[in-house]
Chains A and B, each alone.
Chain A
Amino acid sequence: MIRILIADDHTLFREGVRLLLEREGFCVVGEAADGEEAVRLAQQLEVDVHVLDFGMPVLNGIDAAREIRRKDPEAKMVLLTMYQDETYVLEALRAGFAGYVFKAQTDSDLVHTLREVAQGALYLGPNIPQSVIEVLTSNTQSAESLTERERQVVDLIADGKTSKQIAQVLGLSPKTIESHRSRIMQKLNFEQSTQLVCYAVRTQLSKPVKRR
């Protein structure tokens, strides 16, 4: 029987997933409501696969995974998330996740992923963005990630600054900022500026916070 640890801050969601998994013959050995609790339980319990939500208080799923991996390099982990941006998928893979499931998928997708990962596979379902596969199969992984300057621009966008204000803060011309923006949009495969704003706010929210 495959032993599972579930970490998600929404009890209702956790209990639902637990019931679905138990029906499929999995054994849910623990539940955590935040990233820190997940790290602690991962050490105390015998777990075959850790299922971590991305957006959790105290410590997000990706940073929790890094901790779990540091203490147990063999740990198998699946990320559960609402976000399909390739940057998150790549970040998750770098953090040691062997599976990635979107909350918009179904429970059978989760079950399938857990079985594959439990056997030691790296499993990315059919919903994985094509761009991720392109990055994974090319040798130019770092080429498409954002530069430090671009990340600064993203941070300032999240703060609600206009291009003009960003230009002032960074001591650049508004025109340069505009070209950074369009380069970022291109790298992240965004078509609309609203996508960029959402991305920026999300990135800011996901920065490691120690306390709520």
Chain B
Amino acid sequence: MKVDMKKRIVLADDHPMFRQGLKALLEREGFNIVGEASNGHEVIQMVRQLNPLLVILDFGMPLLNGIDAAREIQKRSPDTQILLLTMFEDDAYVLEALRAGIRGYVLKAQAATDLINAIREVLRGSIYLSPGVSEVVVKAYVTKQYQPSELLTDRERQVLQLVAEGNTTKKIASLLGLSVKTAESHRTRIMSKLDIHDTAGLVRYAIRRGLIMP
């Protein structure tokens, strides 16, 4: 197996078995997997330390989802290209992903050859959006009617994810480095914005948006 030191990649997905399979597939193609992370916070740190050419992020990860992790990575490690892997075909987050600095958007239902293709394109500076998904973007551009599908701010979405994962407000505050009072007011604001007034409703909303797995 020939390993090209230039093709350094970090992988982030919360399922080790998926990560191992992906690693094996990419190594066969000569990529060098230099780090593996299992949540959004971990991958931000790892990318900063290892400074890889590319990071592959799963969308649905605990603690911090792939898109919000991408935003941080773009800020802190602007030289690293970002590719998102997701299960969701009609994802309302495609435009959000592009704005977060993601340059490749690949579905888990696609084949390994598609992913490898996407990686090569992204490393060349292109944007790769999987078939199906690209329509959303084109349509939004053509009609210019795109309304941000997300009412929530980045911070609010992070809080929402943590609430839906079953964390207490105190835990959320400490995970995000906020005061309990601030976390509490984020929560109240989320509920009023979404017009959802119970935790169960927030959990279902987060599931629908793909922020957490049911």
Chain A contact residues: helix, strand, loop or mixed: helix
- Contact partner of A201 (CB less than 8 A), chosen from B21, B87, B163, B204, is B204
For residue B85, which residue of chain A has the nearest CB?
A12
CA distance A193 to B200 in the complex (A): 7
A12 touches B24 (CB 8 A): no
A194 & B15 in contact (Cβ 8 Å cutoff): no
The residue among B15, B200, B201, B203 with the most chain A CB atoms within 10 A of its own CB is B200
In this complex, the interface size class of chain B, counting residues with CB under 8 Å from chain A, is: 20 to 34
Which of A13-21, A36-44, A61-69, A141-149 has 4 or more CB atoms under 8 Å from chain B? A13-21
Residue B126 lies at the interface, judged by CB distance under 8 Å to chain A: no
B18 within 8 Å of A (CB atoms)? yes
Listed residue (B24, B111, B164, B213) with the most chain A CB atoms within 10 angstroms of its CB: B24
Q: Do B18 and A15 touch (CB < 8 A)?
A: no
CB distance from A83 to the nearest CB of B (A): 9
Whether A110 pairs with B17 at a CB distance below 8 angstroms is yes
- Residue pair B21, A20 in contact (C-beta under 8 Å): yes
B200 touching A157, Cβ below 8 Å = yes
| Contacts A11-B108, A12-B108, A82-B213 given; does A195 touch B18 at CB 8 Å | no
Instruction: Report if A82-B15 is in contact (Cβ < 8 Å); known contacts: A192-B166, A201-B214.
Output: yes
Asked whether B164 lies within 8 Å of A19 as measured between CB atoms, the reply is no
Q: Are the C-beta atoms of A13 and B164 separated by less than 8 Å?
A: no
B21 and A17 within 8 A (CB): yes
The interface residues of chain B lying within 8 Å CB-to-CB of A110 are 17
* Total count of chain A residues near the partner, CB < 8 A: 34
**Which residues does chain A contribute within 8 Å of B138, judged by CB atoms?**
none
Min distance, Cβ A50 to any Cβ of chain B, angstroms: 17
Q: A20-B24, A106-B16, A194-B165 are in contact. Are A202 and B214 (CB under 8 A)?
A: yes
Which residues of chain B are within 8 angstroms of A195 by Cβ–Cβ distance?
A: 166
Contacts of A131 in B (CB 8 A): none
B155 within 8 A of A: no
Instruction: Establish whether residues A194 and B20, one from each chain, have CB atoms under 8 Å apart when the complex forms.
Output: no
Smallest CB separation, A160 vs chain B (Å): 6
| CB within 8 Å for A9 and B203 given contacts A16-B21, A82-B213, A162-B198 | no
Q: Other CB < 8 Å A-B pairs besides A12-B112, A19-B25, A201-B204, 14 of them?
A: A11-B108, A12-B106, A16-B112, A20-B20, A20-B21, A103-B15, A105-B16, A107-B21, A162-B198, A193-B199, A193-B200, A194-B166, A198-B214, A199-B214
- B interface with A by C-beta (< 8 Å): 14-18, 20-22, 24-25, 28, 85, 87, 106, 108-112, 115, 163-166, 198-201, 203-204, 207, 212-214
* A-B CB contact pairs (8 Å), 5 listed: A17-B21, A19-B25, A107-B17, A160-B200, A198-B213
